[in-house]
């Protein structure tokens, strides 16, 4: 009885949060299933998505940009965060500050800055967006990596490996890499999801990706655009759910003493 009473506040918070998050999504999903012509519900709007010839093209473009952004970001962040956890504790506040900058600087300023400062050849290549996406995803990917790596006794296990005869290269590839793989995958998917859904900077720099295409077609077919948004949301949700299931935390758990 007492346990049930204790669980009440938690249930209340969960209910409010659930309503806050799920109600708009549920409403959008319901709306996207409406078929005004026949006054009933169906998948006509969803079928319309796949009939659009640009759909696959823009999904491909956005995915390629997001993939390149994620590779750039991880190539920059993984060695940085590993180093911070092994040796660079003193520089942590500085790196924390730097990685917060993309949250503080308005995206418009970043876009206009990029437009004015980048050389001509970079401005005419769509993959410049990948670099900007990498900057925007940095605060989230950095924190995902850092939190994950803090949970692993990286310093101790790398010292143990070196003591056993492994040089730094072997230590990094045979010991550190497999241990941090789960955390790196989490950061990768976080970065992919954020880059894939980026709109503001893409639009300001006049490039066309999946998100800008959704905006354009929403002016032609509102119901279709809403179906597309719900579809994207569901796809990302399933994607993240799979990540959660596939990525196991690499923390050193200790089971109950048996001795």
Residues that bind other proteins (CB under 8 A): 152-153, 156-157, 159-167, 170, 175, 178-179, 250-259
Asked if 77 and 139 touch (Cβ cutoff 8 Å), the reply is no
Q: What is the CA radius of gyration of the chain?
A: 23
Closer CB to other proteins, 37 or 254, in the complex? 254
Q: How far is the CB of 97 from other proteins (least distance, A)?
A: 23
Which is it for the CA torsion 57, 60, 65, 66, positive or negative?
positive
**Hey, how many other C-beta atoms are within 10 angstroms of the C-beta on 82?**
20
In whole angstroms, the minimum distance from the beta carbon of 253 to other proteins comes to: 4
Given a contact cutoff of 8 angstroms between Cβ atoms, the answer to whether 49 and 228 are in contact is yes
Judged by beta carbon, residue 115 or residue 156, the one nearer other proteins is 156
Q: How far is the CB of 175 from other proteins (least distance, A)?
A: 6
Nearest-angstrom CA–CA distance, 117 and 143: 28
- Tell me the closest approach of the beta carbon of residue 169 to other proteins, in angstroms: 10
Cα distance between residue 172 and residue 174, in whole Å: 6
Q: How far apart are CA 85 and CA 147, in angstroms?
A: 10
Cα distance between residue 22 and residue 26, in whole Å? 6
The whole-angstrom separation of Cα 46 and Cα 160 is 55
Indicate the length of the chain as a whole number.
259
- Judged by beta carbon, residue 54 or residue 159, the one nearer other proteins is 159
Q: Using the minimum distance from each CB to other proteins, give the nearer residue, 101 or 151.
A: 151
DSSP labels, 132-160: HHHHHHHHHHHHHHHHHHHTS-HHHHHHH
Least distance (Å) from other proteins to the CB of residue 247? 13
Least distance from other proteins to the Cβ atom of residue 81, Å: 18
Angle at which helix 222-246 crosses helix 2-33, to 10 degrees, equals: 140
Q: Pick between residue 34 and residue 150 the one whose CB is nearest to other proteins.
A: 150
68/152 with CB nearer other proteins: 152
């Amino acid at each position: 009885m007492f346990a049930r009473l204790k669980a009440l506040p938690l249930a209340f918070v969960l209910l409010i949060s659930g309503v806050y998050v799920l109600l708009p999504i549920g409403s959008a999903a319901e709306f996207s299933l409406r078929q005004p012509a026949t006054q009933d519900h169906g998948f006509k709007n969803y079928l319309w998505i796949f009939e659009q010839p640009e759909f696959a093209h823009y999904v491909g473009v956005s995915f390629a940009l997001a993939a390149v952004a994620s590779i750039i970001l991880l190539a920059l962040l993984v060695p940085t965060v590993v180093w911070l956890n092994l040796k660079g504790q003193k520089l942590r506040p500085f790196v924390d500050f730097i990685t917060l900058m993309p949250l503080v600087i308005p995206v418009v300023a970043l876009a206009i800055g990029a437009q004015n400062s980048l050389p001509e050849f970079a401005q005419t290549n769509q993959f410049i967006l990948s670099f900007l996406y990498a900057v925007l995803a940095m605060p989230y990917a950095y924190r995902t990596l850092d939190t994950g790596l803090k949970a692993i006794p990286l310093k101790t296990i790398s010292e143990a490996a070196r003591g056993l005869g492994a040089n730094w290269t072997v230590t990094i590839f045979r010991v550190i890499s497999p241990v941090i793989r789960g955390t790196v995958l989490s950061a990768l998917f976080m970065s992919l999801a954020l880059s894939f859904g980026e709109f503001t900077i893409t639009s300001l720099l006049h490039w066309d990706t999946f998100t800008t295409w959704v905006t354009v077609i929403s002016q032609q077919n509102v119901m279709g655009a809403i179906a597309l948004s719900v579809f994207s949301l569901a796809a990302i949700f399933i994607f993240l759910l799979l990540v959660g299931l596939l990525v196991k935390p690499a923390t050193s758990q200790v089971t109950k003493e048996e001795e």
